[in-house]
Structure formats: structure tokens, C-alpha cells
Chains A and B, each alone.
Chain A
Amino acid sequence: MQPIEFAWLIPVFPLVAAIAIGLFGKKLKEGGGYVAVVAAIASLAITAAVVVQVLDGSFDSADGVMDGVFEQSQMWLTLTDSYSFEVGIYIDQLTALMLVVVSLVSTLVIVYSLAYMGGEGERKRRYYTEISLFVGVMLGLVLANNYLELFIFWELVGLCSYLLIGFWYHKPSAASAAKKAFIVTRVGDIMFMIGLIILFTTFKTLNFRDLFEIEASGTDLSLLTIGTIMIFGGAIGKSAQFPLHDWLPDAMEGPTTVSALIHAATMVKAGVYLVARSFPLFVQTPETLLVVAIIGGVTAFMAATMALNNPNIKRVLAYSTISQLGYMMLALGAGGYLFFHTQHAEGYTSSMFHLMNHAFFKALLFLCAGSVIHAVHTEDMRLMGGLNRKMKITSFTMLIGALSISGIPPFSGFWSKDEVLATVWEAGDLSWVFVLLYFLGIATAFMTAFYMFRLWFMTFTGKPSVASDHAHESPRVMTYPLILLAILAAGSFLVLFVGGGFGGQVFFEEPHSLAPAEVLTATFAEPITYLSIIVAICGVGLAYAVYYRKSISSDVFVSTKASRTMYDVLIKRYGFAAAYDAFAEKVVYGFSKLVDLFDIYVIDGIVNGFAFIFARSGNIIRRLQTGQVQLYAAIVIAGISIVFILLYLVGGLR
């Protein structure tokens, strides 16, 4: 038996932990926190063994391996002769990547929670139940070998997200945010479901292996186009892409650990993963890829603008997450488009590389923010400041995260973001749309550097505020995960220089291994690389001037009427939140009220009208209402008697 044949155990540990904590958490130490940690570590250990096998290629000899994919599968539900569903696991390099990201970040976040959630008392049991459940179903999602199974886990991670956003359910804002997250993503999920139904009825299977071998043409191809766009609809909801992005900022109502794990590092990546997983289908329809790229580019840009002036530390990070997810979508769209025309799929690799790096640096940034919030008991950056002396580790690790996401070399974020932008630039040869998207991407890079350093300077430098006075560094159980994540955020790019590089492992169709020297020339011989470095440095520089040196007053952003208006528009999220609410309250609820009145006065009115007419003519109702219930029994007996009379009459005629 090879280690990979035990891969099905990876999601089982956290799921069993969730059940155990749910049932017996009250009796366990830390409300079951240690059980959750042990389960996560167990998953991480098996993941490590599996990934080693995938990397060194030795899993090829395991049972169930075909064409570089390990698969175990069983019949789940037979509907008819032509329709059936399976349940199973599917491991290729993409799965391995996701497994590492999910189980590693989960483990660190749960360890961190031991201190961060330490003061929650009775509620800890619920927290560790729900977070273990999340880890289990998230791992299930990435292991699924067919779309239906993926969809089931997809909805279950959404459930965990709902429960954990509403963790402090007594706060109306948290309860409301949880509901919004569920319903808005559900709109995407309906599209996803329609997509699945189209694929299923067209191709009679939802198994990845079978579907990915299909080369559609004719009607099938147009159905495939609609189907993939619909599936992408699911990704729009889950990965908070425009126009279904507005739930993610509100989702920050949950504990910061939840934001770090679910709403930054893992669940919101599920949409990106879905597109990457479906790449063999997506690359057959350039229309879909164009949609993916445009939505990704627009989202990246728009979300970055909203991060520019928000005073809430977590919200800035939330917008940043949306923006970075947009980058990943953009890379997939552009990369797929390139593949369709040129058979090169580096875009796929760059997107996945950015996904991995982002998971590390964004989890780091959120956990740092959590450490700060833990110390100062506020999320408002205007009330922070001067924390770098009191919280050296948090301050330093967050700086690394900020440098990484801003794309400052040599930190990891630089390499992947550069590859993403290079892909889009290259696709510009095929269509002017991508040229436009490239410049949106560059503008986003500038804004990213600016808002991240605005955040860092506002929080850690300047005069200490009242809130900062009593702040002190967080305990080790929190800072150690920060240090580990900081090492990853700074150095995960090193995978580019090991073996065949990242592209030699995670690729679509053809590996593109590069020797270390080739990586360097591929990056630094391109003029556009310097453009991304320059805009990043400019962004940092502007933030430095405004929020550190204060040589430019921040009032400059609201000095004119136009810029003031723009400022307010950004704070109001371009009116999306208000529009969602108005649609729900005025349109849907208003319509519902109307239908209710129609039901009472028209439909039921007619029924009661009939009753009234009969009552008038026969006075029956009045007698009934006096409570002569025996009469009803009589009516029933009368009914049956009529049968007999009829039978007798007809029988007599015979």
C-alpha cells in the first residue's frame, strides 16, 4: 500500500473531530481546541506524505493511477439507466497544491485560535466544531472526483462560512452579514447548479475524468459555452467577484481567524480552484474565457479602489482579498485564451502560483491584524498607531506580508503577480481587451502597494493613540504561526528554483520546467517587469509620504469636490450594499407583500365568497358552525352511501 491510497483519510480526521467536539466539547479542554489541532495536524501529515509522492512521481505505481491522476471512486446514487453519480477522490498536482495550502493554513490558524479565541468560554465548543467541519469539507471539496461531489462540499463550506460569520449571532450586524453571505453566494450557486445540469444532461456524466476527455462541437459546444459560463457564475459568488462581491466585506463580522482561514486563504479560493479544475472544459470556449478575464480584471481594479480609503483594518484586507482573487481569475481567463490560440498555458501556472502565495501572505496579514485587534480592541486604524514598538513581532511579520502582496522583489508576491501580469500582456497580442485589462492590472498593483502601506503606517507608526497605550505583544501560540507564515510569504518563491520550478509541477497539458537561470532571465529580461516594480515602489512611496512623513496631507484626497465625491462613493462601495438591500427590501419583499394581499383578498376571498353564497341559500354553514360535528361524520357516511346506492341501481339494471 502506498501513502496516497490513504488520501481519503485527509478530510476524515477533521470531520470526525467536528462530530466529537460537537458531542463532547463541553468536557474537553479548551472546548475541544486541542482535538481540532490534532486532527488538523493529522490531515497535514497525510497530505505531506501524499504530496511527496506526487512530487517525486512515485505515486504512478499506486493502484488507481492513470495518466498521472490518482483516482478512487464508488457508485453513490443510481437514478436511471443513463444517470448516475459517483463519489470518490481525484489527485493530481492541482489537488496536491490545494491540499497543502488548505491543511497547512488550517493547522496554523487553529493553533493561533487557541489563544485568540481563548476568552470565548462556552462558545469555544461551537467554534471548534464549526471550524473542524469547515476544514473537513474544504479538504473534501478539493479531493472530489466529480462535479456533484464538489458541489455538495461547495455548499457545505458555504454553510460553515455562514455559521462562522454569524459566530457572535447576538450582534445584529453579524447575523445580518451571515445571511447576506449565504444568499448572495447562493445566487452564484444556482448558476453553478444550472451549469451542472446542462453538462450532466448533455454529456451524461459529471466525472472529471470522463468530462475532460470530451471535445465538444456543434450544439454540444454551444451548450458547453453556456454551461461553463454558468459554472463560472458559481465561482463569481464563492470567490466574491464582481457583481457578487459585496458579501465579503460584511463577512468580516466573524472572528478574525475565520476571516484569515475561510475568507482569505481557502474557501474564497474555491472559485478559482473550480475554474482551474474545469480548465479542460473552459479552454474549449474562448467566449467563456473572455468573460472570466474581464470579470477578474474589473474585480481586481474595483476592489482595490475600495481598499484605498477604508478606515477598518479588516475591511481593507477583505477588499484586498477580492482584488487578488480577481488577479487569479484574470490570469486564468487570459491564460486559457492564450492556450486556445497558441497552446501555451503558462497563465494557468501563474494563477495557481499566485493562489498559493496569496494564501500565505493574506493569512499572515489577517492573523497580524487579529493580533493587533486582540491588543487594541478596535478595528479602526484611526485609533491605532505607534504599535511597532509594543508589538515587534506582529509589526515585522506584517511588514513582510505587506511587501509580499505589494509585489516588491524578492518577496513571493512579486514573482507571481509579475507572471500574472505578463500573461495578460502576452494575451494583449490576441485582443485589445487584454491590453486594457493589463493596464487595469498595473493600476491595481499601484493601489495595492499604496493601501497596504497606508494600513501598515497607520497601524504601526506615528504617535501611539489611547487604544495603543496598553497594547502588548500577543502570546507565542499566536506569534509562532505569524513567524512561520512570514517565512512562507517571503520565501515561497523559492519553489521556482527547485527542481523544474513551479511550472514543472503545476501545469496544464504540458509542463514548463525552467532552470533557475532561465527563471531569472524570463523575469528580468522583460521590460514590463520593471513597470510592475516601479508602480509598486511608487505606491509604497506615496503611502510613505502621506502616512509616515506626512509631507503630503491626507486631506489632499478630499480637497476638491470631485475627489470628495469619489471618496464617499468608495466608502459606500459604489452603492452596491445599498442596491442589494434596496432590491431585497423594496423589490422582493414588496412583491411578496403584494402577493400576500392578493392571496388573502382575491383567492381566499373567492373561496369565502362561495361559502357565503351557499350559506345564504341553505343556511347550512350556520348550522355547521353551531358545532354539530356529528354532521361531518354524516356527510362522510353519506358519501359512501351514495356509492352503494349507485352500485345498487346499476347492479339492479344489470
Chain B
Amino acid sequence: MLENFPILSLLILFPLVGAILVFLTGRNGKAAKFIALAFSAAPLILSGVLLASFQMSFGEYQFQENHTWIESFGISYSLGVDGISIPMAFLTALLCFLAILFSWDVEHRTKEYMGLMLVLEVGVMGVFTSLDYFLFYVFWEVVLIPMYFLIAIWGGPRRAYASIKFFIYTHVASLAMLISIMALYFEAKPVLGYASFSMIDIATVSGGFGHLFQVAAFGALFFAFGVKMPIVPFHTWLPDAHVEAPTAGSVLLAGLLLKMGSYGIIRVALPTLPEGAQVLMPLMLAIAIVSIIYGAVICLAQRDLKKMVAFSSISHMGIVLLGIATASQLGIAAAVFQMFAHGLITAVLFMMCGVVQHKAGTREIPLLGGLASKMPYAATFMTIGFLASLGLPGMVGFVAEFSVFIATFDAYTWLLLLPIASVAITAGYYLWALQRTMFGPLTEKIDTSHLHDVSWYEAVPLAILSFLMILFGMLPGLIMDYIIPSAGIISGILGVG
């Protein structure tokens, strides 16, 4: 039935139509919210259908749609998903829906806010489903604009600095990507005998490109995607962007936008340029380990709860890169699983930062304390989120970390000792933060007389995400089974088992 049903196009089209409708609503903020919610619910349902009808054991692209767009340049409207993109598509639909719900109290320029959230969804969904470099690049750039505005309009006091930094930094990276894409295009053209931006077409010949070309192109792609993940030392735009971004913006930034970086490495860089990947693998490994430890250590020193969570993302995205750097089927699969897990977990963490900011009026850890007595549900969600993030078994993060560690020992044996040590530091900063914000006697440094527990539109997304973190922690096969075969194809191209 689904053979000729353009389900992927609809995943992109629904939020697009929704965005247009929202912008047309006029002054009615309430209508904008309901339209946004409805048009983000549709892709969520569709992505569920997609998951259900995907053939798991088959790791190749499915649900492909191919339409020639600009024939003379070889640009086509070409979509498709495999076991690596499908969890990302589901994550995108889920987080966008929940982020819109979580923003139910936005009263300042509601219409624009909701519209931009939907445009963001269009871009991210496009990135995760494109099979054409040109299309990929367009969607990639589309993502930048709504995120820029979300920070610049609804952000905190230093929003101007943070939004410009975000924009320029990631745009410089985009430029590197554009250059390598163009290089791939022109290099492939004579070999193919025709012009094509198709990822699949180019990948059939790019393995034979010259050694130096592969290393240079892979390096540029790694830089471009690495900035987005982000990797140390190209990470400093992230804490600034998060600190200033509105809560839902942070949720999508950390939950989805960072994954675009690692997704790019897995989808584009690795299988297209296997020789370059092999040469630069030690560099990726080193950066991964540095990012993991650096991000974890720096968390301990943070006074702003949200900045701490932002830095923890750097550490946890380092684990993704570590999995990739093993170049093995298990490592790549575990990396994708960690992307999925981190998406769920970090959404809860940023939502909780928002709740604290909203109710207590500050996120400065030294000013907080003992909030659990006034907001027990918030304390419960925060505890669940922190525990998931520190890799507690039975929750989704553990499976990802443990698999990455197995793959690391398999590939690099005792080097494992470095990244695994971060597990203790991670437990340290989370539990310490929990102790200083939620436990102990109720703070007297801020006015707590009007402190309320989580509102319903906050509780619902938090409860759904908490449930999913536990569900996928107990039954990780529900997601892992999609990933494994496709990860095997990529590790096969790299020449590693």
C-alpha cells in the first residue's frame, strides 16, 4: 500500500503547510498554537507509520522518491531513509511536537514563534531524508534561519551576541561543506559521465578518487559536521547559544541540530570517502576522547544550570564521535543509538532548565536549593533526566554508552580507559547539581513564596519523554534493530567488519 505513497515528502510538507497557515493567522496567538500543534502531530503519526512499515532486516534505502529537479545540473528531488535516518526522522517529529507543546505559554509574537518552529522541522526533517547533496545543503541552510531568529528574538539578555556567533560560526562550517560537495560533484562528473548531485551516484565512484583528494575533502566535511556536533575546540558557540536561546529552541538545538553534524559524518563523509576516513580516523578518535573528557570536566565548574547541560552535550556527542571513530558496525550503530538517546535525554534536561528558570526566576545554581519540597514533580523529572544522562542502566543512555565502550575496546583496547573514566565525572556533576538545586534546605536567596510545580503543558512532554527513556532503555532492540543492518553497510564500505 505504501509502495507509491510519498510518505517522506509528507513528513516535510505537513510542517511547511503548517508554517504557512500559522503565518497567515493574523493576531490570534491561540489559533497559531493549535495549528502548530496539529501540523507537528501529523508528521509524528506519519513517522510512526514509517517505523511500522520499514523492513528492518534490509539495511538499504527505503521509501525512495526520485524526481528530476534541474536536469542539466544533475539536481534531483531525491528522498529516502535507511536504518540510520529513520530513528532520526522519528526523533525529529517527536521533539518538534513536544517542543511546540512545551511552548504553550509563549505570548510574545506567538505566531512567528510557532511558524519558525515548524520551518525548523521542515529543515531538519529534510536533512535527515535527503539523498541529493544539493537538497541536503538547502535543507541544511534552511535550519539555520529559524534557529537564528528564535535566539535573536526570544532569547536572553546577550541574545544578539549569541545569535550572531551561532550564525557565523555554523555558516563558516557550511561553507566548508559546500566546497567539499562541489569538489565531489566536479570530481565525480567525468567518472560518472553525467552531472549528478545524487549521494548514491557519487558514492559509487568516489571510493576511487585520489588519496589526497579524499583526505582533503573528508577533512573539510569533518570540520563542517564537527562544528555542528560540536567537537572541541570548535564548540564555543554552543554554550552561548544555549544560554540565550528560549527553552524550546534549546531543546531542538541540542536534540536535533547537533545530530545533523554526526548524521552528516555517518551518512555523507564516511561512505563517500572511505580512504580519507581511514587516514583521519586517529584524529577523530583523539577529538572524540578530548571532547568527552573536556566536556565532562568543564561541567563541574558551571554555575548556570543550562550552561552545564550545554557542556554535557559536548561530552555526550563526543561519545557519538567515539563510536564513529571505531569504524565498526557496532561502533557506528551505537553512535546512532547514542544520537537517538541523547536527543530524548537532552530534551528533558533543557526542558527542566526552562522549568527552573520559569518558576524560580534564575538558573544560577548557587542561588537555588531545596526546590524539591516546593516542586516535587519537577524534582522527579529532573532526577529522571539526570540519571538517564549519567548512563543509568535500565534507561536509554546506558545501552548507547555501553555499546560504544564495547566497540572501543574491540578496536583500540586499553584506550577505553580514558573515555570510560568520564562516567564517574558525569555522575559527579549531575548529582552535585541535583543536590544544590533540589535538595537541602529551601533557598532563602530568592523569593520562593510563589514557587509552583510544573504546569500541565510542561508535565506532559516531560512525562512522555521520561516514559520513552525508560521504554527504550529496557527494550533497546525497538530502535537498535533498525540501525544494525544499515550500520553494517557503512562499516562494510570502510572495510571493517
Q: Which residues of A contact B (CB under 8 A)?
A: 76-80, 83, 148, 151-152, 154-156, 159, 162, 166, 169-172, 174-176, 178-179, 182-183, 186-187, 190, 193-194, 197-198, 200-201, 584, 588-589, 591-593, 595-596, 599, 603-604, 607, 611, 621, 624-625, 627, 629, 632-633, 635-636, 639-640, 642-643, 646-647, 650-651
5 shortest A-B CB distances, which residue pairs?
A175-B439, A592-B300, A596-B301, A152-B393, A169-B439
A170 to B195 CA separation, bound complex (whole angstroms): 68
17 contacts between A and B (CB under 8 A): A79-B333, A80-B329, A170-B441, A170-B442, A175-B440, A178-B435, A193-B423, A194-B420, A197-B409, A201-B410, A592-B298, A596-B298, A596-B301, A607-B169, A607-B237, A629-B148, A639-B175
A162 to B178 CA separation, bound complex (whole angstroms): 50
| B186 adjacent to chain A (CB < 8 Å) | yes
Q: Judging by beta carbons under 8 Å apart, are A186 and B423 in contact?
A: yes
Q: Judging by beta carbons under 8 Å apart, are A179 and B416 in contact?
A: no
Closest to B333 in A: A79
With A176-B435, A190-B424, A596-B301 in contact, is A79–B138 under 8 Å at CB? no
Q: How far is the CB of A176 from chain B (nearest CB, A)?
A: 7
| B456 adjacent to chain A (CB < 8 Å) | no
A200 to B148 CA separation, bound complex (whole angstroms): 46
Q: Judging by beta carbons under 8 Å apart, are A592 and B438 in contact?
A: no
Cross-chain contact of B171 among A183, A596, A635 (Cβ < 8 A): A635
Q: Judging by beta carbons under 8 Å apart, are B387 and A179 in contact?
A: no
Q: A155-B393, A178-B435, A607-B165 are in contact. List 4 more A-B contacts (CB 8 A).
A: A80-B329, A155-B398, A639-B174, A643-B182
Judged by DSSP, the binding face of A is helix
With A176-B435, A640-B141 in contact, is A193–B402 under 8 Å at CB? yes
- Of B81-89, B342-350, B480-488, which stretch is located at the interface? B480-488
Q: Judging by beta carbons under 8 Å apart, are A175 and B424 in contact?
A: no
Closest to A604 in B: B236
A61 to B59 CA separation, bound complex (whole angstroms): 44
Cross-chain contact of A603 among B236, B432, B434 (Cβ < 8 A): B236
Q: Judging by beta carbons under 8 Å apart, are B428 and A611 in contact?
A: no
Q: How far is the CB of A196 from chain B (nearest CB, A)?
A: 8
Q: Judging by beta carbons under 8 Å apart, are B488 and A643 in contact?
A: no
Name B267-318 residues within 8 Å CB distance of A: 294, 297-302
Max count, chain A CB within 10 A of own CB: residue among B235, B299, B333, B440: B440
Q: Judging by beta carbons under 8 Å apart, are A179 and B435 in contact?
A: yes
Q: Judging by beta carbons under 8 Å apart, are A159 and B387 in contact?
A: yes
Max count, chain B CB within 10 A of own CB: residue among A162, A170, A187, A647: A647
| B373 adjacent to chain A (CB < 8 Å) | yes
Find chain A residues with CB under 8 A from B329 CB.
80
Closest to A636 in B: B141
Question: What is the 8 Å Cβ interface bit string for chain B, positions 124-154, against chain A (1 contact, 0 not)?
Answer: 0000000000100110010011001100100
Find chain B residues with CB under 8 A from A642 CB.
178
Find chain A residues with CB under 8 A from B174 CB.
639
| B233 adjacent to chain A (CB < 8 Å) | yes
Question: What is the 8 Å Cβ interface bit string for chain B, positions 394-416, against chain A (1 contact, 0 not)?
Answer: 10001100110110011000001
A80 to B329 CA separation, bound complex (whole angstroms): 7
With A194-B420, A592-B298 in contact, is A182–B403 under 8 Å at CB? no
Q: Judging by beta carbons under 8 Å apart, are A156 and B393 in contact?
A: yes
Q: Judging by beta carbons under 8 Å apart, are B477 and A193 in contact?
A: no
A197 to B330 CA separation, bound complex (whole angstroms): 14
| B370 adjacent to chain A (CB < 8 Å) | yes
Closest to A163 in B: B383
Find chain A residues with CB under 8 A from B434 CB.
179
Cross-chain contact of A197 among B232, B237, B405, B432 (Cβ < 8 A): B405
A171 to B372 CA separation, bound complex (whole angstroms): 12
With A604-B236, A642-B178, A650-B186 in contact, is A636–B145 under 8 Å at CB? yes
Find chain A residues with CB under 8 A from B72 CB.
651
A162 to B390 CA separation, bound complex (whole angstroms): 14
Question: What is the 8 Å Cβ interface bit string for chain B, positions 9-50, against chain A (1 contact, 0 not)?
Answer: 000000000000000000000000000000000000000000
A155 to B441 CA separation, bound complex (whole angstroms): 28
A647 to B185 CA separation, bound complex (whole angstroms): 10
Q: How far is the CB of B420 from chain A (nearest CB, A)?
A: 6
| B451 adjacent to chain A (CB < 8 Å) | no
Q: Judging by beta carbons under 8 Å apart, are A193 and B405 in contact?
A: yes
Closest to B423 in A: A190
Q: Judging by beta carbons under 8 Å apart, are A169 and B440 in contact?
A: yes
Find chain B residues with CB under 8 A from A592 CB.
297-301
A162 to B294 CA separation, bound complex (whole angstroms): 27
| B216 adjacent to chain A (CB < 8 Å) | no
Q: Judging by beta carbons under 8 Å apart, are B405 and A187 in contact?
A: no
Closest to A22 in B: B380
Cross-chain contact of B160 among A148, A182, A627 (Cβ < 8 A): A627
With A193-B402, A592-B300, A595-B297 in contact, is A182–B168 under 8 Å at CB? no
Q: Judging by beta carbons under 8 Å apart, are B484 and A80 in contact?
A: yes
Q: Judging by beta carbons under 8 Å apart, are A603 and B233 in contact?
A: yes
Q: Judging by beta carbons under 8 Å apart, are B145 and A197 in contact?
A: no
Q: Judging by beta carbons under 8 Å apart, are A643 and B145 in contact?
A: no
| B365 adjacent to chain A (CB < 8 Å) | no
Cross-chain contact of B300 among A77, A589, A603 (Cβ < 8 A): A589
A635 to B169 CA separation, bound complex (whole angstroms): 13
A68 to B403 CA separation, bound complex (whole angstroms): 33
With A201-B406, A595-B297 in contact, is A629–B149 under 8 Å at CB? yes
A166 to B236 CA separation, bound complex (whole angstroms): 36
Q: How far is the CB of B55 from chain A (nearest CB, A)?
A: 16
A310 to B434 CA separation, bound complex (whole angstroms): 31
A624 to B164 CA separation, bound complex (whole angstroms): 8
| B377 adjacent to chain A (CB < 8 Å) | no
A169 to B164 CA separation, bound complex (whole angstroms): 42
Q: Judging by beta carbons under 8 Å apart, are B394 and A155 in contact?
A: yes
Q: Judging by beta carbons under 8 Å apart, are A76 and B301 in contact?
A: no
| B417 adjacent to chain A (CB < 8 Å) | yes
Q: How far is the CB of A120 from chain B (nearest CB, A)?
A: 14
A584 to B427 CA separation, bound complex (whole angstroms): 13
Find chain B residues with CB under 8 A from A611 CB.
165, 168
| B468 adjacent to chain A (CB < 8 Å) | no
Find chain A residues with CB under 8 A from B481 CB.
78
A67 to B438 CA separation, bound complex (whole angstroms): 51
Q: Judging by beta carbons under 8 Å apart, are B182 and A595 in contact?
A: no
Find chain A residues with CB under 8 A from B152 CB.
629
Q: Judging by beta carbons under 8 Å apart, are A643 and B392 in contact?
A: no
A625 to B134 CA separation, bound complex (whole angstroms): 31
Q: Judging by beta carbons under 8 Å apart, are B301 and A186 in contact?
A: no
| B431 adjacent to chain A (CB < 8 Å) | yes
A152 to B470 CA separation, bound complex (whole angstroms): 13
With A83-B330, A169-B440 in contact, is A197–B416 under 8 Å at CB? yes
Q: Judging by beta carbons under 8 Å apart, are A183 and B428 in contact?
A: yes
| B489 adjacent to chain A (CB < 8 Å) | no
Q: Judging by beta carbons under 8 Å apart, are B167 and A632 in contact?
A: yes
Q: Judging by beta carbons under 8 Å apart, are B178 and A643 in contact?
A: yes
Q: How far is the CB of A556 from chain B (nearest CB, A)?
A: 41
Closest to A83 in B: B330
Q: How far is the CB of B469 from chain A (nearest CB, A)?
A: 14
A643 to B297 CA separation, bound complex (whole angstroms): 42
| B73 adjacent to chain A (CB < 8 Å) | yes
Q: Judging by beta carbons under 8 Å apart, are A159 and B392 in contact?
A: yes
Q: Judging by beta carbons under 8 Å apart, are B423 and A593 in contact?
A: no
Find chain A residues with CB under 8 A from B237 CB.
607
Q: Judging by beta carbons under 8 Å apart, are B301 and A584 in contact?
A: no
Q: Judging by beta carbons under 8 Å apart, are A201 and B160 in contact?
A: no
Find chain B residues with CB under 8 A from A78 CB.
477, 480-481, 484
A572 to B406 CA separation, bound complex (whole angstroms): 40
With A79-B403, A596-B301, A643-B137 in contact, is A169–B438 under 8 Å at CB? yes
Q: How far is the CB of A470 from chain B (nearest CB, A)?
A: 29
Q: Judging by beta carbons under 8 Å apart, are B417 and A194 in contact?
A: yes
Find chain B residues with CB under 8 A from A154 CB.
393
Q: How far is the CB of A59 from chain B (nearest CB, A)?
A: 29
A635 to B403 CA separation, bound complex (whole angstroms): 41
Q: Judging by beta carbons under 8 Å apart, are B428 and A588 in contact?
A: yes
Find chain B residues with CB under 8 A from A589 CB.
300-301
Find chain A residues with CB under 8 A from B399 CB.
77
